Amino acid sequence: MKKFLRLTVAALPLALLLPATAQKNSKEQGITREQADQILDELRQIRQLLQQQNKPQTPPGPTKAALNLQGGEMLGSKSAPITMVEFTDYQCPFCQRFHTTVFSELKKNYIDTGKVRFYSRDLPLDSMHPNAMRAAQAARCASEQGQYWTLRDIMGANPSKLDLDSLVSDAAGLKMDTGKFKSCVESEKYKQAVQTDVLDAMKIGADGTPTFVIGKSTADGVDGEVMVGAMPYEVFDRKLKSLQGGN
C-alpha cells in the first residue's frame, strides 16, 4: 500500500500537465487522445482517493427503528417498559450462539422479572440456509398447539437438525399432534407471514442474523436502536441498564 501511495503521489503532477500536452504526447508516445483522456481520468480518481484518505473518518451513528409488533410472539410482561426484538434464522450458527450463551441470562435477569418483553421475529437467510424457512414456519405451526417457545428453544440450540423428520420428532417429544403439525409445515401456510418479517427486517437495514431492536416499549411495539450480531451478555446488559436509567 505504501508503494502504491508513493507511485500515485509521484504521478499527480502529470495530471496537471496532461491536458495541455495530451495531443503532443499522443504523437510522440504513440498513444491516442482517448487513451490520454483515460489516463487523466484515472489520475484524477487517484487524487480524489488520496484526498479522502486525509479526511478524518467519523463512525456512523446508531440506526434507529420503530416496529409494530402487534400479533407477534412475545415472552414476558406486556407492560414491561423496555422491548427487545430478535430477528433470527434458526440455521444460523451466530443465532445459535446467542441462544445458547446469552438468552437464558437475559430471560432470567430481565424478561422473567418484568423489566423487558421479548419478541421473536423471523429472518431466514434461505439462500444460505435451506432449512431456515421451514424452521420459521414450524415455530408458527407449533404456536397453534401452544408450543412456540419450547420448539423455538429446541431449534435454536440445534441448527443442524431442522429437516422435516427432525422437526416432527421434536413435536412428538413435546406431545404435540404430529399429524396436524406436519400437515401445517408442509402446507407452508405461514410462509407469507415469515416473508412479512423479512420485509420488516430489510426496512430497518438488517444485514445479518441475529439482528435486534432494543428500546422503549410503545403502544404497538418498540421505538429503539438496531444492534446486529451475537454479542456477549455484557453488551446487552449495558444497553438495557442505560434504558432503565432513562425511564
Find where cell 484526498 sits.
51
Residues with Cβ within 8 Å of 101's Cβ and at least 6 positions away in sequence, in order, are: 230, 232, 233
- Asked whether 240 and 79 are in contact (CB, 8 A), the reply is no
Q: Strands, E, within the chain: which ranges?
A: 64-68, 73-75, 82-88, 116-122, 211-217, 221-228
* Averaged pLDDT in 10-residue chunks for the chain of 247 residues: 37 40 47 69 67 57 90 96 98 97 98 98 95 98 98 97 98 98 98 97 93 98 96 97 83
pLDDT of residue 114: 98
pLDDT of residue 57: 53
pLDDT of residue 12: 39
Strand duo 116-122 + 221-228: pairing: unpaired
Specify the 3-state DSSP secondary structure of 23: helix
pLDDT of residue 10: 37
Statement: the pTM of the whole predicted model exceeds 0.85: no
pLDDT of residue 50: 62
